[in-house]
Structure 1
Amino acid sequence: MAETNFDLVVIGTGPGGYVAAIRGAQLGLKTAVIEREHFGGICLNWGCIPTKALLRTAEVYRNIQHAESYGIKVEKASVDLDATVKRSRQVAAQLSGGISGLLKKNKIAVFEGQGKIAGSGKVSVEKDGNKTVLSAKHTILATGARARNLPGLEPDSKLIWSYKDALVPDTTPKKLLVVGSGAIGIEFASFFNALGSDVTVVEVMDRILPVEDADISAHAEKAFKKQGMTIKKSTNVTELKKSSKDVTATFKDAKGKTSTDTFDRVIMAVGIVGNVEDIGLEGTKVKVDRSHIEVDEFSRTGEAGVYAIGDLTGPPWLAHKASHEAIICVEKIAGEKDVHPLVTTNIPGCTYCHPQVASVGLTEKAAIEAGHEVKVGRFPFIGNGKAIALGEPEGLVKTVFDAKTGELIGAHMIGAEVTELIQGFGIAKTLETTEIELMHTVFPHPTLSEMMHESVLDAYDKVIHM
């Protein structure tokens, strides 16, 4: 009979759950995980990883289309959509299998089924009508989130797609509407645009990528329009009327003016809701606010011995945030010394569209609203030798400093490979770096990273190459 007494039980094996389990086992906690579907959660199976595989295909195809500008002749290149999707699914499956191996390596007990709190110190697992009750000194809820549906605009997996449907498309739409311009919406817009779809993006806010710095949003909009996308800002979709083969969308702008257009497919990307249902929260002191569980700085809920991490809790809803929360939560449980709460402004965010977008810390507007007197530096990709050599001269690096202390409080980037570059500023934020340390840091040449240095110099009127 399987062991049922544990120090730590984790419900969910996404980027938060499996990391929590592994760290718990490393610290000597007798650990179990409960998973109802796929090891790796949404991120590895239906989010971060498979979308990057699709976007890599788009990047390669885009480069082939511009190969002649690099002195290479390519004729009649085309995209095999079925093969593209197959590769994406294989990548996801490989990594999901890797999680299974890691759990086994760390001697973590695995229970398959629906996990839920079943009383103080108890967790039940149900599958195929069978129920197992586990004893748990500590329970971490890591059940993640799912796509938000708007009334009357729900996906049907045929003409109106969720993000899951968009990951396994049966066709490349001639005309595509993407509702929502956050990271998910923009990444799919970028993918299908590269494949040749006529893409329209509609956003209810007054700019696309609304969580990014205004300069970055403006730069992105200009780039997307140049690529042929149609951008509708400050606009609602009030109706999606389906026929047998297409969808007619009704739009309403900020002035109340309505218009319609017809599309082959629609992708809904309007946020997420936490998976708080059917996990046994009833009768507990766990508080839920707008589908997300309230926690303190160490992921503790209002119920003793119950914790929540990842997309189930507050923003930012990012895989790496979930993983770091997991480490902090488990180390606190295990009584480790010097466990520090997560500083959310030190968490980088990345969007893998073309051009890429990445940021960490406060935007210029948010910094001013928070009471900072700021110094702002900007440096364009066109001023960087490596960017020009790569054939990627479009982009911007922007840095925001506290004028009084010199502390770096925000960095915002758009352009080639900025999702890799942003970690340099992430480290700087964690170390509470000032402009002096960054100015004295030697950046290698020729690299894109030199623009990070130049942006710092620009904030203090010392820029060299502009």
Structure 2
Amino acid sequence: MAAQSFDLIVIGAGPGGYVAAIRAAQLGMKTAVVEREHLGGICLNWGCIPTKALLRSSEVFHLMERAKDFGLAADKISYDLDAVVKRSRGVAKQLTSGVGHLLKKNKVTVVMGEATIPSKGKVSVKTDKGSEELTAKNIVLATGARARELPGLEADGDLVWTYKHALMPPRMPKKLLVIGSGAIGIEFASFYNTLGSDTTVVEVMDRVLPVEDAEISAFAKKAFTKQGMTIMEKAMVKQLDRGKGKVTAHIEVNGKVEKHDFDTVISAVGIVGNVENLGLEALGVKIDRTHVVTDEFCRTGVDGLYAIGDIAGAPWLAHKASHEGVMVAELIAGKHAHPVKPESIAGCTYCQPQVASVGYTEAKAKELGHDVKVGKFPFIGNGKAIALGEPDGLIKTVFDAKTGELLGAHMIGAEVTELIQGYVVGRQLETTEEDLMNTVFPHPTLSEMMHESVLDAFGRVIHM
């Protein structure tokens, strides 16, 4: 069979790949996308979307338990774990079928199967029916990543889970150990803890949510502890002894090894890029610690071969992948493309309380040599937060003292994952403290705290 020829082939249909394919098709390119499992990738099927659906259920459950605080009555509150999971899967399914529809609408050819790149400009796909040969001048790698498995801590789906098992749990954990307190670990810890699991989180770094500003991490730890979680920092799980219905974890803290029993362990210790079996080494692609090395325009150094999203390294975020997908499609079409700057990408964690940030932490800004002005505003000083019954939280802003540039913003509290966008737009427009101070924020909203935090950095805060 003759090879099908395209202008662009995208390998992987996650939030990087399918977006790159759609944008390329809009720009008039004949485009194909190759996917071995699910349209929408991990994000829509096993990541961002279904976890948010689960967390929404636990958030509503938490509010029902607090009914009395709002002058309401809700008796005999309970949940049906199977129904919670079923809703989450339904949400994921709705969105993945939406991706199929979008690709079809944009006339993108979808080939389901496993891709390899036998030589420059060629893609061979192993499908159910045999193999298909495709050719294109440009190829985009968007194969994503998977959970990192540490020796001895491998998942078995019964006692030890990865995020996939945690999304479709065979049972409700009674005593849960979560290894790793990045976004994935802490979101699952939050979900299961809210539904009644006795939850312990072990973090190898000196604080939970280690990529966040130190003050936000400290606030988060306090909130999690108040919710009944046990947080162990500067701690490492050395081994897991698996028995019948229980796991004994050997946890090293301060040089001493403690043994603790759990019935379930969730491992969330980072990710590794899906770089195997593609033929990348033979093409001369540089790979560093399971990630493809690229320049700021996602070029691999091999002519016509690009890599976007998780496979191209941190930050491992769906919105970064999508933005890179659009950028690469525009670059190939000869348009003026802007590289994606990691420090302009917001991170959002949907635990309770939510955490969101963009730009540099206070420590990082100082390390880069900035003379900084820092402002803070607590949720307790905001009318809307109190009316919502969510008085715990903090907004922190970091400015360059000389230029007034907004270097970073860090938040913890209700709905901060939606609020952060204000500062993201501000940074994109190269806003200064003056612009932000002169902006009229609507009342009563949580967003007013963003204004007050800026005012505080310059000694002008009103409501504190």
Fold equivalence (TM over 0.5): yes
TM superposition shift of 1:282: 2.9
CA-to-partner distance for each residue in 1:106-144, whole Å, 9 max, x for gaps?
000111100121212111101237111111110000000
Q: Which residue of 2 aligns with 1:112?
A: 112
Q: Which residue of 2 aligns with 1:191?
A: 191
TM superposition shift of 1:185: 0.2
**Structure 2, unaligned runs of 5 or more:** none
Q: How many angstroms apart in 2 are the aligned matches of 1:2 and 1:122?
A: 12
Q: Which residue of 1 aligns with 2:141?
A: 141
Q: Which residue of 2 aligns with 1:460?
A: 458
Q: Which residue of 1 aligns with 2:335?
A: 336
Q: How does 1:23-42 map to 2 (within 5 A)?
A: 23-42=23-42
Q: Judging changes above 3 Å, is the alpha-carbon distance between structure 1 residues 121 and 380 closer, same or farther for their aligned structure 2 residues?
A: same
Percent identity (aligned): 67
- Worse-superposed segment, 180-189 or 276-285: 276-285
Q: Which residue of 1 aligns with 2:378?
A: 380
CA-to-partner distance for each residue in 1:181-212, whole Å, 9 max, x for gaps?
00000000000011000000000000000000
User: SS at the partner of 1:53?
Assistant: helix
Q: How many angstroms apart in 1 are the aligned matches of 2:247 and 2:129?
A: 41
User: SS at the partner of 2:136?
Assistant: strand
Q: How does 1:312-461 map to 2 (within 5 A)?
A: 312-337=311-336, 339-461=337-459
Q: How does 1:100-179 map to 2 (within 5 A)?
A: 100-128=100-128, 130-179=130-179
User: SS at the partner of 1:283?
Assistant: helix
Letter in 1 for 2:263: D
Q: How does 1:219-298 map to 2 (within 5 A)?
A: 219-253=219-253, 255-298=254-297
**Structure 1, unaligned runs of 5 or more:** none
Q: Which residue of 2 aligns with 1:19?
A: 19
Aligned residues: 464
TM superposition shift of 1:343: 1.2
TM superposition shift of 1:285: 1.7
Letter in 1 for 2:280: L
CA-to-partner distance for each residue in 1:26-59, whole Å, 9 max, x for gaps?
0011100001110000000000000000000000
Q: Which residue of 2 aligns with 1:215?
A: 215
Cα RMSD, aligned residues only: 0.9
Q: How many angstroms apart in 2 are the aligned matches of 1:282 and 1:276?
A: 9
User: SS at the partner of 1:378?
Assistant: strand
TM superposition shift of 1:219: 0.2
Q: How many angstroms apart in 1 are the aligned matches of 2:463 and 2:281?
A: 61
Letter in 2 for 1:43: C
Q: Which 4+ stretches in 1 moved above 4 angstroms?
A: none
Q: How many angstroms apart in 1 are the aligned matches of 2:116 and 2:23?
A: 22
Q: Report if aligned partners of 2:3, 2:132 keep a CA contact under 8 Å in 1.
A: no
Q: Judging changes above 3 Å, is the alpha-carbon distance between structure 1 residues 129 and 105 closer, same or farther for their aligned structure 2 residues?
A: closer
User: SS at the partner of 2:237?
Assistant: strand
Q: Which residue of 1 aligns with 2:202?
A: 202
User: SS at the partner of 1:140?
Assistant: strand
Letter in 2 for 1:89: R
TM superposition shift of 1:314: 1.4
TM superposition shift of 1:464: 0.2
CA-to-partner distance for each residue in 1:132-158, whole Å, 9 max, x for gaps?
111111000000000000011101010
